[in-house]
Chains A and B, each alone.
Chain A
Amino acid sequence: MFQSLGKYILLLNLSFRKPEKFKVYWAEVMREMVSVGIGSLGIISIISLFIGAATTIQVAFQLSSPLVPRSIAGSIARDSTILEFSPTISSLVLAGRVGSSIASQIGTMRVTEQIDALEIMGVNAPGYLIAPKIIAGVTMVPLLVIASIALGITGGWIACILSGDVSPADYIAGVQGGFNGLTVRVALVKAAVFGFIIASICAYQGFYTSGGALEVGQSATRGVVYSCVMILFADLVITRLML
């Protein structure tokens, strides 16, 4: 385990060496940002809308007491969405979508000698392949989480209209009342850390793939599993430290 941790840290160190030509690396960063950000927007939108709707209905069901104001469903759904559902569940989904893609792409490049070809040319392969993916992860996952929060809260509002469990006016009042900006800061910190975890762990798994197609698949699976575990662990640590 310590050997793997050491290799992981060394790989990260190599990844952030001075690039051979900034312009070429910048183009790669932009390409990865589009792939991670725009490419994941569809799935993130769908899960956010449904999770927001389901959360609101469940909270309304659990707090169906005449002593509790109906607007509380809005504030609980908002805080749950901002603090946990949007950053964590979105990141777990992204680990599957983006992480497996990163690990299998780099793993395939390794077993087909494309990484060797980069090294022969004098290109810092970790820098060219991994750094743009990490930068894209750290920048685009927070943006996706912001979109997820907005869509999650919208999903709750739609659920209120369709189910009638809570009136839309009560829901909106709950969403607006007692808002604490710290929750958004926590969500963004989580998102940036999770983006780093997904990109770096999956890239590490892909970069040290050896063998053939079977091993590429195994690397992708390991990348997703380790990313998910580390996301949940980091979630706990950040929540404890910031709240």
Chain B
Amino acid sequence: MIEVKDIYKTFGENEVLKGISAKFVAGKNNLIIGGSGSGKTTLLKCIVGLHDPTKGQVFFNDENFTEMDFTQRVPIRTEIGMLFQNSALFDSMTVEENIMFPLNLFTQQSKEEKLDRANFCLKRVNLEGKNKLYPSELSGGMKKRVGIARAISMQPKYLFVDEPNSGLDPKTSILIDELINELTEEYKITTVIVTHDMNSVMGIGDHIVFLHNGQKWWEGSNHEIAHTDNKELNSFVFASKFMQAAKEKL
């Protein structure tokens, strides 16, 4: 389980996170939602250690990640997979090399074993045979899938996903959501997803944390979200006429 306790993050004069505490449920899809500038991505980056919180702590299975130095964090980091908003694939490497990169650095596997693992991961994201392509030759959806393949190559316990649906058409968005959901269930991964895609919220939101102005405003599941009387959450989730109509039918 991942737990954040009283997280504050300040950039200069700008206080982005204001005392957020939350628990992310093990083996489930945990969604962090909120409007633009609410601090979702900053919270995610504090959890994975890309930002050091100004105050507060992050725990991975009761181990205080915030107080660890770079070397102490390495064992936990090898259990983390992350899909970035723009996929962050290494431009100079092929798809196969991208997926094998963490295996090259952190495992003692033979080249054949690493290739087998890369092929397995590519098959899992429905990109068989795309091994030798470079990121510049891939579409946005394919880049996301390669990003997921790279993220799961080390068989992570934790998967962090930043805006998985940004820049994708609705059909591809749903495919990516389904893929993340399948992987979470199949491998019992604790997944934390930052999103403001309402299809994701309603479709795969096992546990949802809603941020507003850098504070945790609401916490619950996708079943509870339709019946909440939280004003800010309602105005965020049911902002569109389509979602309002969907709510009335619920």
Contact = CB atoms under 8 A, between A and B. Distances in A.
B133 to A, nearest CB: 17
A64 interface: no
Given A20-B106, A21-B105, A116 B84 contact: yes
Contacts of B78: 121-122
B48 A120 contact: yes
B91 A114 contact: yes
Nearest to A122: B77
A114 B89 CA distance: 7
Interface residues of A, number: 16
B70 A117 contact: no
B74 interface: yes
A114 B77 contact: no
Contacts of B88: 112-114, 116-117
Contacts of B126: none
B130 interface: no
A117 B49 CA distance: 11
Interface string B78-115: 10101011101111000000000110111000000000
A120 B80 contact: yes
- From A112, A116, A117, A123, residue with most partner B Cβ within 10 Å: A117
Contacts of A21: 104-106
B90 A114 contact: yes
B37 to A, nearest CB: 17
A108 B89 CA distance: 12
The interface size bin for chain B is 20 to 34
B50 interface: yes
Interface string B149-166: 000001000001000000
Nearest to B104: A24
A121 B105 contact: yes
Contacts of A119: 49-50, 77
Nearest to A31: B92
Given A24-B104, A114-B91, A122 B85 contact: no
B23 interface: no
Interface in B42-76: 45, 48-50, 70, 73-75
Interface string A98-133: 000000000011001110110111111000000000
B105 A116 contact: no
Given A20-B106, A112-B88, A113-B88, A122 B74 contact: yes
Contacts of B154: 121
A112 B74 contact: no
Contacts of A120: 48-50, 77, 80, 82, 160
Given A120-B50, A121-B102, A113 B86 contact: yes
Contacts of B50: 116, 119-120
A117 B84 contact: yes
A114 B92 CA distance: 11
A95 B106 CA distance: 34
A24 B105 contact: yes
B160 to A, nearest CB: 8
Interface string A1-29: 00000000000000000001100100000
Contacts of B91: 108-109, 112, 114
A113 B101 CA distance: 16
Contact of A121 (B75, B77, B86, B89): B77
A215 to B, nearest CB: 16
Contacts of B82: 117, 120
A20 B101 CA distance: 12
23 contacts: A20-B106, A21-B106, A109-B91, A112-B88, A113-B84, A113-B86, A113-B88, A114-B88, A114-B90, A116-B88, A117-B88, A117-B90, A119-B49, A119-B50, A119-B77, A120-B82, A120-B160, A121-B80, A121-B105, A121-B106, A122-B74, A122-B77, A122-B105
Given A108-B91, A120-B50, A121-B78, 10 more contacts: A112-B88, A116-B45, A116-B84, A120-B48, A120-B160, A121-B77, A121-B80, A121-B102, A122-B75, A123-B105
Which 5 A-B pairs rank lowest in CB-CB distance, beginning with the nearest?
A122-B77, A113-B88, A117-B88, A122-B74, A120-B82
Interface of A: 20-21, 24, 108-109, 112-114, 116-117, 119-124
